[in-house]
Structure 1
């Protein structure tokens, strides 16, 4: 906070996190927020239809500025965050996984780029693994390969030796931690509920960039992430949504020849390879998940934006 600046004139940040049958994990995150040095924020915990209402446990923790919103059903990552946004009063929305641990100056660092460039709509911190705290999970994103539908995080699984300490624009936000301005929601809309789980932040990032905003990697901000605690390392649910939403994302965001080449690659190489693997290891639930994912795409029409991502846009 600048000298002489009043707290009530500072932007309010609405930290939104989703709980699903992980009340103690969520409380670990809330406990870590006690160290935050930014003085003006609220926390909204959305319970996504858990077996047990976490409200009383969270209340007993006496965490400051926390509101618990209980959904009677699981709305997924997209729907849960959108529900939290409805209750948020902030100038900025900080979408944060419940399986993360924050660092003290996180919010100040994430806010700083917004003051420097009015075209910035989203900032994301450097993310390291909680269990391997010197190893990077995210330091920005590489551009999408529109022919294979693949992208990956910059620095993924590399030891952090300062090689990604330069902040700057990046291609996609990371769903585990993204600070979003209110202007983004006004111009680009919110997360699309159709994704439910996985690829939703990539789809949102593409729409945000088409709306004229930059997505910014803020290297001086840091969180720690317990990877894949929500769904597990590998299971049928993960196979289903990864398969379904990779296709759904491409149908919504890539057009013309690149999309046709992607179909040839995916159905001619990537998908048969996965099916062979699941058959050799005899994983019938995974085979059914793939079938269901394909059927879902065959029965759902893509609500493609008027100006879907072109090859040139994805390469700059």
Structure 2
């Protein structure tokens, strides 16, 4: 078994592989690098075999998104290559830096209850700023809205060293997600129904309820392009984010007494956000929110079974941010993580 495996899930991302894979290989510290290809049609597999013969290529039969793709790829790495103690789930549009691995591995080695960790994620196009997908570690409020150290909604902080510590967080980003393989396989990996977006937050919530920890490592930094597979302006991304947030909240919120009031308030706030899309003339996003709600209603029987199964396990409750981040940001004008947590 390898001590660590770097695993990149690819779908029609040959330009990103050509641009960023050389740096990944240069700073892999001798660890194996895998590319799991989700039935790309852009020649990615033949390109990899020709240009990067040392990369271990896994050909998946179809595109099952981030969640299903990584589940299948990591199962194949475990069965076909002996697995690894730690996996790094790395987006193809990430530019790594020297010494990005060892500080995170040291954290895992020192803490056997650590299940997941992320480095600082900065913007590739604006390198001084934290990037949307994870920034310096993620949190969640009582309505299931997510925010980060270094990024709250559309406010991005410059990295001035304010988050250089190693610290517990609620979730670690899937853009560059270090996981303990035994915990990943113990939990069955991601919920494949999410397809993409928020599956890592759902998983981080579940592993913390099992008694494991999620951290961010301030001594490791990578740079993220963002939207490499699905651009932020794509209405399908809107659909996935709104739908999966409801999936996650329904499955994991521990108190039955407050569950449906929270869901109702979320649905109302989603409706308010659709008015903002209308104002900008972004009608496909409005339709995406409506579809997300109906997809949630259609999934309720399955979600209810999953929720009951988690309840039967008598898992520990995990603390979330106790009030509304929407209220803090839009009503009180608190735009940064430090202002919100003061």
Under a length normalisation based on structure 2, what TM-score does the superposition of the two structures give? 0.82
Query: Which whole-Å CA distance do the structure 1 matches of 2:92 and 2:315 have between them?
Result: 31
Q: Deviations over 1:52-83 (max 9, x none)?
A: 3411111222353x122223321011011112
**Does 1:31 find its partner at 2:17?**
no
Deviation (angstroms), 1:279: 3.5
CA distance in 2, matches of 1:276, 1:308: 40
Q: Deviations over 1:255-299 (max 9, x none)?
A: 32332232232223x122133234444444323322222221111
Distance 1:37 1:253 in 2: 35
User: What's the secondary structure of 1:299's corresponding residue?
Assistant: helix
Structure 2 partner of 1:145: 141
Asked whether 1:12 is paired with 2:3, we answer yes
Task: Indicate if the aligned counterparts of 1:140 and 1:173 stay in contact, CA closer than 8 A.
Answer: yes
CA distance in structure 1 between the partners assigned to 2:186 and 2:265 by the alignment = 34
Write the distance in 2 (CA, Å) between the matches of 1:308 and 1:25.
43
Structure 1 residue aligned with 2:329: none
Q: Is the 8 A contact 1:240 1:289 kept in 2?
A: yes
Mapped pair 1:92 → 2:81: no
1:134 aligned residue: 128
- What is the alpha-carbon root mean square deviation over aligned residues? 2.2
Are 2:248 and 1:249 equivalent residues in the alignment?
A: yes
| Cα distance in 2, alignment partners of residues 266 and 14 from structure 1 | 38
> CA 1:70–1:312 in structure 2 vs 1: closer, same or farther (change >3 Å)?
closer
- Equivalent residue, structure 2, for 1:178: 177
Instruction: Output one character per residue of 1:28-49: Cα deviation in whole Å (capped at 9) or x when no partner.
Output: 221111321522x222212223
The residue aligned with 1:221 is 220
> Which position in structure 1 is the counterpart of 2:319?
313
Equivalent in the alignment of 2:339: none
Distance, in Å, in 2 between the alignment partners of 1:248 and 1:121 is 22
Mapping 1:147-162, distance limit 5 Å: 148-156=143-151, 157-162=156-161
Partner secondary structure for residue 115 of structure 2: strand
Superimposed CA distance per residue, residues 215-237 of structure 1 (whole angstroms, 9 cap, x where no aligned partner): 11111111110022221121220
Q: CA 1:309–1:285 in structure 2 vs 1: closer, same or farther (change >3 Å)?
A: farther
Identify unmatched segments of 5+ residues in structure 2.
78-82, 323-342
Q: Residue in 1 aligned with 2:35?
A: 45
Structure 1 runs not aligned, ≥5 long? 1-8
Asked if the contact 2:90/2:177 (under 8 Å) is kept, the reply is: yes
User: Separation in 1 of the partners of 2:293 and 2:58?
Assistant: 34
Alpha-carbon distance, 1:94 to partner: 0.8
Q: Quick check: 1:172–1:202 contact (8 Å CA) kept in 2? A: yes
For 2:97 and 2:231, how far apart are their aligned partners in 1?
A: 25
TM superposition shift of 1:252:
0.7
What secondary structure sits across from 1:239 in the alignment? helix
Q: CA 1:51–1:308 in structure 2 vs 1: closer, same or farther (change >3 Å)? A: farther
The Cα of 1:179 is off from its aligned counterpart by 1.1
Distance in 2, Cα, partners of 1:278 & 1:72? 37
How many pairs does the alignment contain? 302
Pair 175,209 (structure 1): closer, same or farther in 2 beyond 3 Å: same
Aligned match for 2:111, one of 117, 120, 126 = 117
- Alpha-carbon separation, structure 1, partners of 2:164 and 2:119: 11
